[in-house]
Amino acid sequence: MVATSALELGIDIGALDAALLVGYPGTIASTTQQIGRAGRKFQESLAVLVATSDPIDQFLARNPAYFLGLSPEKALIDPDNLLILLNHLKCAAFELPFSENDSFGTLSHDILYGILDYLTTTGALHHSGDHYTWVRSDYPSATLSLRNATSEQVDLKRLTGDTWEVFGSVDRVSSFWMVHPAAIYLHEGASYQVEVLDLDNNYAQLRPVFEDYYTEPCESLSFEILSRSSESDNISFQIGCGELQVTNQVTGYRKIKNHTREILGVGSVDLPPYTFDTTGFWMILHPSTVDKLRIAGQWLNDPNDYGVDWDLIREIVKERDHYTCQNCRRTFKAEPLHVHHIVPFRLFPSAEEANKHENLITLCPNCHRRAEERAYVRSGLTGLAYAMRHLLPLPLMCDTRDLDVHADPLCSLFNLQPAIIGFDSAPGGIGLSYAASEIIPVWLSELHRHIQQCPCTDGCPSCIGPAGETGYGGKKETLAILELIAHG
């Protein structure tokens, strides 16, 4: 029998002898549930976990005692998240009217009845005497998403004969990264490619394809701190948490090969930004920490100094290439052309060596962006953010999509100091970031040990992320940062 993770919900198979798990399910609880589908009737059974290249899988492969020696995690959720709370109260009112003396969870009387009065103004409830009664004709739980706190949906359509058939849906927030144009979407084991995403009418059109890759969005993020809940200072860094406003814009995507996670190519998309409030955490490196890294030659985030002759060199190279993009072969007269370093500038000891004409090529803006993706130089800060994003879900008992983590070497929120910012992907937040801010100081040594034990030479999908085709992984720099902040 081959099945999805629905097996962990308790379907009684009866007499299976073995369970084969392809990749770590994400939590100890889910893993034991899936393993428990085999060996019923008091028989011995076999359970095999096939580790993927995901950092969590590789961490558990090297540290099996972490899984075997710990009890299942405690579920972490914030029941007072306003978006979740509103939907819960709708469902509760549908089942039984609220009276003036009722309570709900840990909510105070004023907050509870303030929300009930709000639902009354929207027409969902009717307030008569001391009762709040559900008056709509719809069934509120039918509109709730199991994946997201919001209920607004984008319908997924595929062409069946001459008509477009709805075969699924995703919440609107997730649609930006999940079903953007050209994205690969998996449904019941089949691959679909998105042709159209219509956000005005909330639908996406997809066609079946047979591809050996999946897509990963490239995002442009900006943040605003709405409130600060706590902040603590360590020797090498400061960590804090609070409420964030996140503005996100999906600007492109990477094609990533299944199983090996090689980057096969990149593409661009034109989507509007979307903004939401959530909970987040931040870790700021102290200037003294950055100075130590800079002196040791382990800091790759300083702006490039291309030298005083750079403008002249660029014009010479563009003239040599006849003002033609050397990739798409288009000639540009009015639009600006870029000059690209074939081997990344940061990998040379001096500007003179990096700017030799044989290392320079003329590209149009679009081709230059794609070339930069292939020749990506991953800094230690970016490598640390990648490791945190993929390994923090292990102690937090969440999926890697539930907690987003990004690096900003010149963060405007903190006087241009280097920072790592994480946030709950669910609008409103569910408490993951607050827990992460407490776990991070303890887990830094685990991150350091995991990256150090990874057998790759300069970064890979299992530790700090892969470098570009001709880029630089930054594993040495990531370890240098962790050495200072975890053990310094």
Decide: residue 163, CB within 10 A, 0-12 exposed, 13-18 middle, 19+ buried.
Answer: exposed
Give the chain's residues under pLDDT 70. Answer: 1, 4-14, 40-41, 70-78, 143-151, 333-335, 373-377, 467-472, 488
Contact of 213 with 257, CB cutoff 8 Å:
yes
Q: Which helix (H) or strand (E) holds 126?
A: strand 125-128
Nearest CA-CA partner of 116 in 92, 151, 152: 92
In this predicted structure, what is the pLDDT of residue 70?
A: 67
Q: What distances in angstroms separate CA 424 from CA 152, 271, 276, 284, 318, one per listed residue?
A: 19, 22, 11, 18, 45
Structural domain spans, the chain: 5-68, 82-143, 310-374
Residue bearing tokens 């009930």: 116
How far, in Å, CA of 38 to CA of 45, rounded? Answer: 6
What pLDDT sits at residue 10? 56
Indicate yes or no: pTM above 0.85. no
SS3 state at 378? coil
Q: How many CB atoms lie within 10 A of CB 453?
A: 12
* Pairwise CA distance, residues 196 & 201, whole Å: 11
3-class DSSP state of 279: strand
Encode pLDDT of 420-470 as tens digits: 999 998 888 888 899 899 999 989 998 999 999 888 888 888 888 876 555
Element (H, E) at 171: strand 163-171
Predicted local confidence at residue 64, as pLDDT = 85
What confidence score (pLDDT) does residue 77 get? 66
